[in-house]
C-alpha cells in the first residue's frame, strides 16, 4: 500500500475513533444538558397560605463573634404576615374547618383577642380563605399594628388594658362577641373564637412545622433554644419537639418586665414585683416589649413549662440597646420581642461558654414599632437611652 492510500486509511480510522468517542461521551452529556435546560419542575404555592413557613435560619454575625458561640435566628419575620403567628393562625383556621366550626364564604367571622401579630395573621388568612375577621386589642399596643389590621379588612376594637378576670379584657371581649354572634340569628354566618391562648392548635402548629425546620436546618446539631412567651404556643411546640429529638437541648425563657412567667419557671409561683398569684385585679406592669409576657398560666404554656431549663428577666433598657446593636452591626431591623430573644441568647452564650450553638427567633420587623421602640420622644419619657451601645456589656452574664 502506497503512502497516499496509507494516509486515506489513517484518516478514515481517526475519523471513526472521533465519531465513536463523540457518540459515547460527548453527545450523551450534551443531550442530557439540553434536556435539563428544557425541562423545569413547577414550583408554585397555593395562595398566601402557601408562603407560610420554611423561613431561613441566619447566623447573627456580631453576636456569634462576640460570644464565641453560634447564635442562629429563625427569620420568622419573613412569613407573609411578618411573624410566626402566621403558622398558628393557619393551624387554628384549618382545625376549625375540619371540625365544622368554620365554613368558607358563608359570612363566618373569626374573633380574636390579640396584641397585634396574631390578629394580622388571622386577618390576612381570612382574606384568602373566605372569612371575615374581628379583632380586639389592648389600646396600649402600637398603632402600626391596628393600621395594618384595618388595611387587611379586619374590624378592630381597641380596648383599655384590664386584668383577665375583667369581662372587658380584650380576650374576654372577643370570646363574648363570638358567642353573641352565633346565638343571634339576625347576624349572618357564625362567630368563631379562635382562642389563641388556650387552643392546642397553637402549640401543635410549631410542633409540626417550626420545630422540625429548626432541627433540619441545624443538621440535628444544636445546644439550646431561646425565646419569649406570650400564649406559650411557640415555646411549647418548639421545645416539645426539640426535646423529643434530643433531651440534652437546653430551653431558655426570655421574659420582659411585668410578666410572671420568669418566677413561675424558677419558683413555681406566678409572681412579679408588682403582682402575686391570686391578685389579678392589678394591671400588668408597663413595658415597651409587645407580644410576650403574661401573668397567668395558659393551656399552651403548660405544654412548654416542663421543658424549660433556664429563665432570664430581660429589661426594657436591654431590649432598646439590643435593637440598636443589631441594626448597626448586622443590618437587622427587628421588633422588641426579637430584641429580648437576642439579649437572652447572648446571656445564655456567656453562661454556657464558647463553642455552643444557640437558636432563637426574630419574630417581627421593626417597622411595627415606630411609635414606641423606635420613637425617641417616647423613649425619653421612659428614661430609656436610645444611643448605640459600644459593646455587649449591657447583657449581664
Active-site annotation, residues: 85
Q: What distance in Å separates the CA atoms of residue 309 and residue 215, rounded to the nearest whole number?
A: 19
The CA-based diameter of the chain, rounded to the nearest angstrom, is 115
- In terms of DSSP bridges, do strands 109-113 and 191-193 run parallel, antiparallel, or are they unpaired? parallel
Return the ∠ at Cα 280 (arms to 156 and 226), rounded to 5°: 75
- As to burial, measured by CB atoms within 10 angstroms (0-12 exposed, 13-18 middle, 19+ buried), residue 75 is middle
**Owner of C-alpha cell 391570686:** 278
Q: Which of 284, 195, 201 is nearest to 236 (CA)?
A: 201
Look at residue 102 and give its three-state secondary structure. coil
H or E, element range at 316: helix 316-330
Task: Dig out the grid coordinates for 277 from the structure.
Answer: 398569684
Q: What distance in Å separates the CA atoms of residue 129 and residue 59, rounded to the nearest whole number?
A: 35
* Main-chain phi, psi angles of 107, to 5 degrees: 65, 20
Q: Which residues contact 37 (CB under 8 A, 6 or more apart)?
A: none
Contact 108, 101 (CB under 8 A): no
Query: Does the CA dihedral 362-367-369-370 come out positive or negative?
Result: positive
Q: Which of 48, 68, 187, 72 is nearest to 121 (CA)?
A: 48
Amino acid at each position: 500500500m502506497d503512502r497516499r492510500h496509507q494516509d486515506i486509511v489513517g484518516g478514515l480510522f481517526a475519523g471513526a475513533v472521533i465519531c465513536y468517542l463523540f457518540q459515547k461521551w460527548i453527545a450523551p452529556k450534551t443531550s442530557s444538558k439540553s434536556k435539563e435546560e428544557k425541562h423545569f419542575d413547577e414550583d408554585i404555592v397555593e395562595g398566601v397560605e402557601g408562603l407560610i413557613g420554611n423561613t431561613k435560619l441566619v447566623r447573627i454575625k456580631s453576636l456569634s463573634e462576640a460570644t464565641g458561640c453560634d447564635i442562629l435566628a429563625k427569620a420568622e419575620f419573613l412569613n407573609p404576615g411578618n411573624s410566626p403567628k402566621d403558622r398558628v393562625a393557619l393551624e387554628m383556621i384549618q382545625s376549625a374547618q375540619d371540625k365544622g366550626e368554620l365554613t368558607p364564604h358563608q359570612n363566618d367571622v373569626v374573633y380574636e383577642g390579640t396584641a397585634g401579630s396574631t390578629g394580622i395573621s388571622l386577618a390576612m388568612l381570612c382574606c384568602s380563605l373566605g372569612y371575615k375577621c374581628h379583632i380586639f386589642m389592648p389600646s396600649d399596643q402600637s398603632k402600626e399594628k391596628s393600621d395594618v389590621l384595618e388595611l387587611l379588612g379586619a374590624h378592630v376594637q381597641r380596648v383599655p388594658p384590664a386584668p383577665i378576670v375583667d369581662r372587658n379584657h380584650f380576650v374576654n371581649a372577643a370570646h363574648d362577641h363570638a358567642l353573641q354572634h352565633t346565638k343571634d340569628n339576625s347576624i349572618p354566618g357564625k362567630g368563631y373564637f379562635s382562642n389563641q391562648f388556650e387552643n392546642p392548635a397553637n402549640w401543635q402548629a410549631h410542633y409540626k412545622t417550626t420545630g422540625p425546620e429548626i432541627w433540619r436546618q441545624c443538621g440535628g446539631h444544636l445546644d439550646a433554644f431561646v425565646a419569649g412567651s406570650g400564649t406559650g404556643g411557640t415555646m411549647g411546640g418548639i421545645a416539645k419537639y426539640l426535646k423529643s429529638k434530643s433531651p440534652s437541648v437546653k430551653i431558655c425563657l426570655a421574659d420582659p418586665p411585668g410578666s410572671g412567667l420568669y418566677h413561675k419557671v424558677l419558683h413555681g409561683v406566678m409572681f412579679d414585683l408588682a403582682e402575686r398569684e391570686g391578685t389579678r385585679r392589678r394591671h400588668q406592669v408597663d413595658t415597651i416589649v409587645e407580644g410576650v409576657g403574661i401573668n397567668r398560666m395558659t393551656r399552651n404554656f403548660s405544654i412548654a413549662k416542663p421543658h424549660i431549663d433556664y429563665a432570664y428577666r430581660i429589661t426594657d433598657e436591654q431590649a432598646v440597646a439590643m435593637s440598636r446593636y443589631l441594626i448597626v452591626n448586622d443590618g437587622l431591623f427587628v421588633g422588641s420581642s426579637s430584641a429580648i430573644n437576642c439579649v437572652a441568647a447572648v446571656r445564655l452564650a456567656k453562661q454556657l461558654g464558647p463553642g455552643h450553638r444557640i437558636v432563637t427567633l426574630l419574630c417581627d420587623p421593626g417597622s411595627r414599632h415606630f411609635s414606641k421602640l423606635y420613637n425617641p420622644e417616647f423613649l425619653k419619657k421612659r428614661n430609656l437611652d436610645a444611643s448605640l451601645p459600644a459593646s455587649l456589656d449591657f447583657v449581664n452574664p
